[in-house]
Amino acid sequence: MDRKRVAGPELSVAPLVEYPRDHKRWTPQDEQRHDTKRQPEDMRPIYLKTGLINQANGSAYIELEKTKLACGVYGPRPGKRTGFSGHGVLNCEIKFATFSCAKRRGHMRDPQEKELSQILSQALTPAVRLDLVPKSTIDIFITVLESDGWGSCVAAAITAASVALAHAGIEMLDLVAGCSAAYIPSGPSIASPTPSATDATNATGPSLAPRIFMDADLEEEKYEQGAIVLAYMPSLNEVTHMLQSGKAEGSIVSQSVEHCVEACNKIYAVMHHALVESVGENK
């Protein structure tokens, strides 16, 4: 039991949501995407701002419609005592607010958050000049206030963290933009049963190839057969991290990597603007 917090009931569950029969929900069979406005290759509009946490050395806030998260960078500051090192350490910690998801999350860090933290530090470390900050730690803390899709959340965290690092005046090789895409099976492959279960690859022929939805939201993610998150340094043209999950053919993966790189270049323009905007303010 957690003695350091105000205690509530030991067990509480979300109520069962019952939809009426005529309730129309989005399914992959629909012609349009879940929010009806976007084309498959469209991302949600990004709002990105620096400097909202005045006690941090650098900070950024990012919003992709419902996905909202804040990032604070502290450091370089004295690291944990783990022997002498000529290189600095980049430490990332991501935390979901308890109210950030459909289901309430716990206060403690769960394995998913630990995994995310690791992805984040792997995606950002190649871009930071840690050789210039010996013995020190740069801490990146992220609080997810609201999550609308796991992939978009990771991507937004990468983007925001790299902007916050630059805002903290830390020397970097390049900014890192994060982008996500989901493979949504085309309608018929779900609706009609496959003729031969043993030969699944034949059944998903070229006409039934999954559609690639950029920056999928939570409702779309429920139907995904796989997803990709790409972290990319736009001006050096290098990928720092790629996470592909689920089943997809090689051609689909390489196609979505292309899409993500293209999207990252668009995100870079937003990042550039957010950082340059702060230069203008002080002048």
Partner 1 sequence: MASEPTNLAISPAFTFSASTFQKLHPLEYFRKFASQGVRPDGRLLSSFRPTTVHYGVITTADGSAMVRMGGTTVVCGVKAEVAEPRLHAPDQGYLVPNVELSPICSSAFRPGAPSEQAQVVSEQIHRVLQESKVLDLKELCIEEGKAVWSLWVDVVCVSYDGNICDAALTSVMAALSNVRIRKPTYEEGVVKVAGVDLLDDENSFRLNLARTPLSVSFALLDTDLILLADPNSAEESISQGQIVITLDETGQLCAVSKVGAASSSQQLLKQCIERARERSQELRRIMNQEQ
Partner 2 sequence: MTSVADAVVPGQRLGHVQEFNAGVGTYSHQNFLYASVVGVKQITTISSDELPVLSVQRENTQSAMPDIDAIVTCKVVRVNPRFAAVNIMVVDGKPCTDDFQGIIRVQDVRATEKDKVKIYNSFRPGDIVRAQVISLGDARSYYLSTAANELGVIFGTSVAGGSLVPISWQEMQCTKTKAIEPRKCAKPM
Residues that bind partner 2 (CB under 8 A): 57-58, 74-78, 81-84, 127, 129, 133-136, 166-175, 233-236, 271-272, 275-276, 278-280, 282-283
Give residues with Cβ within 8 angstroms of 48, minimum separation 6. 60, 61, 62, 63, 159, 160, 163, 270, 271, 273, 274
Complex with partner 1: residue 110 or 131, whichever CB lies closer: 110
Written as one string, the DSSP assignment of 71-128 is EEEEEEEE--SSS--SS-EEEEEEEE-TTSSSSPPPSSPPHHHHHHHHHHHHHHGGGB
Site for partner 1 in 44-73 (CB under 8 A): 52-56, 59, 66, 68, 70-72
Measured distance CA(230)–CA(178) in Å, rounded:
6
Which of 1, 19, 21, 78 forms a contact with partner 1 (CB under 8 A)?
A: 19
- Does 36 contact partner 1 by CB under 8 A? no
Smallest separation (angstroms) from partner 2 to the CB of 90: 14
Q: Does 266 bind partner 1 (CB under 8 A)?
A: no
Least distance from partner 2 to the Cβ atom of residue 231, Å: 13
The answer to whether residue 281 forms part of the interface with partner 1 (CB under 8 A) is: no
Phi then psi dihedrals of residue 25, to 5 deg:
-110, 160
Q: Is 274 helix (H, G, I), strand (E, B) or coil?
A: helix
Query: Interface with partner 1 includes 247 (CB under 8 A)?
Result: no
Binds partner 1 by CB under 8 A, chosen from 1, 4, 81, 205? 4
Q: How far is the CB of 139 from partner 1 (least distance, A)?
A: 7
The SS3 assignment for 51 reads coil
